[in-house]
Amino acid sequence: MPRTVPSTLDLSTVTVAVVLPGTGSDANFVDRVFRGALRSRGIDVVAVDPDPRGVVRSYVRAMDAAARSGPILVGGVSIGAAVALQWAAEH
């Protein structure tokens, strides 16, 4: 059953963003891409290095762990963006 999603997002409750790299990339790259915009809004960045034994699984685990502390933003590049979008749609 689809969840009802609010039409607006109150970013004042979000303090962490998890960002995921694409294939052949790493946490350093996505950190550099997203950090400036997120930090300017007071949001801390968690850039995830993929586990080559299970890239998608490692991304999902990182987002799940961060979300245990409260609402998070998620984003990424390439496959990282796709995994982030799927995770957000499910949560």
Report which DSSP code applies to 13.
G
Reported as a single tens digit per residue, the pLDDT across 40-63 is 999 999 999 999 999 999 999 999
At residue 3, the pLDDT reads 58
Strand partners, 46: 18
pTM of the predicted protein model? 0.88
pLDDT at site 65: 98
- Can you read off the two tokens belonging to residue 33? 């891409």
Q: Which whole-number Å values give the CA distances from 85 to 1, 8, 42, 82, in the listed order?
A: 18, 17, 22, 5
**pLDDT tens, residue by residue, 63-90:** 999 999 999 999 999 999 999 999 999 9
